[in-house]
A and B are shown apart, each in its own frame.
Chain A
Amino acid sequence: MTRLFRIQSKAGWAAFVVIFGIALVAVPWLNLMIPVDSPYHLPDYMVSLLGKYLCYALLALSLDLVWGYAGALSLGHGAFFALGGYCMGMHLMRQIGTRGVYGNADLPDFMVFLNWKELPWYWFGFDHFAFAMVMVVLVPGVLAFVFGWFAFRSRITGVYFSIITQAMLFAFMLAFFRNEMGFGGNNGLTDFKDLLGYDLHDQSTRVGLYVASVVLLACGFLIGRFISSSKLGRVLVAIRDAESRVRFLGYSVTNAKLFAFTISAVLAGLAGALYVPQVGIINPSEFSPANSIEVAVWVAVGGRGTLFGAILGAFAINGAKSYFTGAAPEIWLFFLGALFIGVTLLMPKGILGLASGLAARLKRPPAATPQQETALVAGREHA
């Protein structure tokens, strides 16, 4: 289908193939093929770390779709991420079987500990990988659809939308902290053994998960591009600029936002589902409001409304976080706080905005440079 190839320029495709190609091939090769004592060997922990970043990047990308394009800043995207993660975590828990501390084949350890006698009904089906995957998509998707339908139908916009998404997230956090919910309470789900029969502690499995994350992020990026380069993408931008004008043109603002929000939630859920086996745990702290706000700053730092900026921002900030929490943990919150302030005050268009501004200055008259191609909001020609 030619439409698919037209979602970005030739230069954009070239950049896409190069970046994702390197991520897909070079990292596993450097880790598995290069001997451990070589300086070019990529340590095992780096693979897992990069895999984690990839999931964060997909989460950031999903937020960019609703915030950067439709202008609805969701502070509750952590909920979709965590719900996807819990769906995957439930499957992994069922995979443990009799290898748990209590050796109970029917119940996860924490339920045995709570003296539960049988599996709650909502755990049924999670023994099967396919069912769990369907749930990974459905649970965040349906939640976003229902919640979004209520919110957008009543025309809750701007900071009001941010606040009620945060309230939703907060409610989920409180709920998942409860032991009675049957999701492991405070401790969450952990001690996973294997996925589809592959041992999660094997390095080859980890590389496999990493590769899956790269592929998923690439797909997420293409889906995002497909939407943002379509007329619907321009409708979303129009909604961001002047919502009521879009209504008077005859478009259903509710439906357009609902579409973007639901797709975005599904992507966030998928990111969470791949995140859980790579970090080995999912607990209610993933629902904490602070985490979800942080995602917004990843997007803002990279440059919102660009998709690629979200990915860039997620990698940059999480890289910095890993560095700081190792080197000088007390500095990290100062740095993050300053970043929130700095990026909003000094570089509202993020790194990509700066880069494209710089490129435009260097190269006059401005031809369509690759940076611009990705940096500018749906600013494409219809030749």
Chain B
Amino acid sequence: MLHRSLPCFLALFAALAFLGLAAPACAASDADLAAAVAKLGEPGFSEKLEAIETLATLGDTRAVPALQALTDGNLYLRDADNLLVVATEGDPDYRLSDPLTGAALGSAGFAELSRVIANNRLRSAIHTALAKLQIGDPDPTRRLAAAQEIARDNAPETAALLSEVLEHETNAGVRAAIAISLAKINLSSELPAERLAALKKLSDTLTLEVRTLLAPLTSANSDGSFAEPDPTVRKEASLLVSRIDRRLVLQDLALNLFQGISLGSVLLLAAVGLAITFGVMGVINMAHGEMIMLGAYTAFCVQEAFRMWLPESVFGLYLIVSIPAAFVVAGLVGIALERGIIRFLYGRPLETLLATWGISLILQQVVRSVFGAPNREVSNPAWMTGAFEPLPGMVLTWNRISIILFALAVLVAIGLLMRFTSYGLQMRAVTQNRPMAAAMGIPSGWVDALTFGLGSGIAGVAGVALSQVGNVSPNLGQTYIVDSFMVVVFGGVGSLWGVLAGAMSLGIVNKILEPYAGAMLGKILVLVLLILFIQKRPRGLFALRGRAAEA
């Protein structure tokens, strides 16, 4: 991304510098400008209209405040000397200023002023004139608005202005808008060569807008004749349309991919804790979803605590604080459950399934009693709101991006924990050969409790993340539990890579199917595909093979 945007920025700076230098050079003489502005005060509408058109052709941005004042009804004649002034409401008198220079001209009572009146025709003329003037504005958003304004008029005489501006314009968004405006004008030209040239200019703005503009050129009328009589132009247009279609398909795909990865990250967060308890310990924890829910409610509590006791300025930090808090809360609950219930059920997976389901019912009901059944709102901190738009039409929201990064960070952290800490070593030892590990003095009971706590704690952290993209309710866990199991089963038990692959492929397949099949049908299809997949690889994508796997 960076290597693409850097030259773009440089060019933008160059353009700004250019505009700053060039504006005085090509400005009309001050006298012409002053005369034209003064003419705005003439009583007749036709004189005013002439003045507006003169100002527009002069192309000097200094005329903008005067024109703006006229449309806004702030342009007045001072009765005393018939001087044109901009008056803004003050207390008690109006403050006056020069329409051209903006210099203060004292103040006057409302009775001493007469308003310069504009009718609708004038206003629309001013609109066009303003657009023509503002197309040179240093602010790209204003240039964009101006270009779109001009395009709406579709007046042939603006073509020259636009093509001149286009030469210097560097902002991609503005360029596209200008090019479209220009092309619109040129496409209605009588000469095929000009129409062709217009098409050529469009060749680097491959957007949906351009496509709608070109579509009529390529299609036949009901009588079989073509809207576009010239075959070369037609060919060029259809070529361009197909290029745009390809581009749009790619862009759609990229957007789906992003959404898929984003969903995959959510699934990854939800499932990675399960992969630890189910994959590593062989414990099937149906209360895993409730650990996620506890994490989300922890985030809610931390948020409320920040609101109540801490100044507004640090509110954005509540999310950061929630993460360790949720880890500890869910982790402790997990350890308590392991010591209190689950350790008595090792080696009886189906009983564990039922008992943990019971735990999940109780936890849900506890939360429902404490916080109430309705959804609770956990707000996004300011730094996570908004979006990032690398390409026109491709909106990536910051909270989704944050979740993707966060999920990967969690995965990496777990990987490091497993590989490089003594606890990780002990855990892997207990997983592979429990009696042997115990014989070597590894406290396997303690490792079990910690592992279950770790899995639950990560679920809690996932809950914090999920609170940022969805509602927090006592049923939160239930929405994710089936998906989480699917991820673990699909990826293969006991492998972090498997969870990553499982979560990402399920997320992406889901999102890619969605536009064709609809959200629900997409999900059903994914479930069916998964059931079929398990036929081929009953132990998942990343399963162990050999005698060890058949225990």
* Interface residue ranges, A against B (CB under 8 Å): 67, 73, 147, 150-151, 153-156, 158-160, 162-164, 166-168, 170-171, 174-175, 177-178, 289-290, 293, 296-297, 300, 330, 333-334, 336-341, 343-345, 348
The answer on a CB contact under 8 Å between B486 and A293 is no
* Interface residue ranges, B against A (CB under 8 Å): 284, 286, 341, 344-345, 348-355, 357-362, 364-365, 368-369, 478, 482, 485-486, 489, 520-521, 523-524, 527-528, 530-532, 534-536, 538
A335 to B286, CA, bound (A): 17
Complex partner residue of B538 from A154, A171, A174, A177, CB under 8 angstroms = A154
A-B residue pairs, 10 tightest by C-beta? A340-B358, A337-B361, A337-B362, A333-B365, A171-B527, A337-B358, A344-B351, A341-B358, A344-B355, A154-B535
Complex partner residue of A150 from B341, B359, B478, B531, CB under 8 angstroms = B531
A73 to B351, CA, bound (A): 10
Complex partner residue of B485 from A155, A163, A168, A290, CB under 8 angstroms = A163
A162 to B350, CA, bound (A): 8
Neighbouring B residues of A153 by C-beta, 8 Å: 535
Neighbouring B residues of A164 by C-beta, 8 Å: 489, 530-531, 534
CB-defined A-B contacts under 8 Å, sample of 30: A154-B538, A159-B349, A159-B350, A160-B534, A162-B350, A163-B486, A164-B489, A164-B534, A167-B482, A167-B530, A178-B521, A290-B478, A293-B354, A330-B368, A330-B369, A334-B361, A337-B358, A337-B360, A341-B341, A341-B355, A341-B358, A343-B354, A344-B345, A344-B348, A344-B351, A344-B352, A344-B358, A345-B341, A345-B344, A348-B348
The answer on a CB contact under 8 Å between B523 and A174 is yes
Neighbouring B residues of A330 by C-beta, 8 Å: 365, 368-369
The answer on a CB contact under 8 Å between A334 and B538 is no
Neighbouring B residues of A67 by C-beta, 8 Å: 350
Question: Known: A166-B485, A340-B361. Contact between A171 and B354, CB under 8 A?
Answer: no
The answer on a CB contact under 8 Å between B365 and A337 is yes
Question: Known: A156-B534, A166-B482, A171-B527. Contact between A340 and B520, CB under 8 A?
Answer: no
Question: Known: A156-B534, A156-B538. Contact between A73 and B350, CB under 8 A?
Answer: yes
Neighbouring B residues of A336 by C-beta, 8 Å: 358, 361
Question: Known: A330-B369, A344-B345. Contact between A160 and B359, CB under 8 A?
Answer: no
A331, chain B: closest CB distance, angstroms: 9
A348 to B520, CA, bound (A): 39
Neighbouring B residues of A168 by C-beta, 8 Å: 527, 531
Question: Known: A160-B534, A164-B534. Contact between A334 and B354, CB under 8 A?
Answer: no
Neighbouring A residues of B538 by C-beta, 8 Å: 154-156, 160
- Select from chain A the residue with minimum beta-carbon distance to B344: A345
Complex partner residue of A333 from B344, B348, B364, B486, CB under 8 angstroms = B364
Neighbouring B residues of A289 by C-beta, 8 Å: 482
The answer on a CB contact under 8 Å between A150 and B357 is no
Neighbouring A residues of B489 by C-beta, 8 Å: 160, 163-164
Complex partner residue of B351 from A151, A166, A175, A348, CB under 8 angstroms = A348
A233 to B523, CA, bound (A): 38
A160 to B489, CA, bound (A): 8
A338 to B366, CA, bound (A): 13
Question: Known: A333-B365, A344-B345. Contact between A150 and B482, CB under 8 A?
Answer: no
Neighbouring B residues of A293 by C-beta, 8 Å: 286, 354, 357
Neighbouring B residues of A159 by C-beta, 8 Å: 284, 349-350, 353
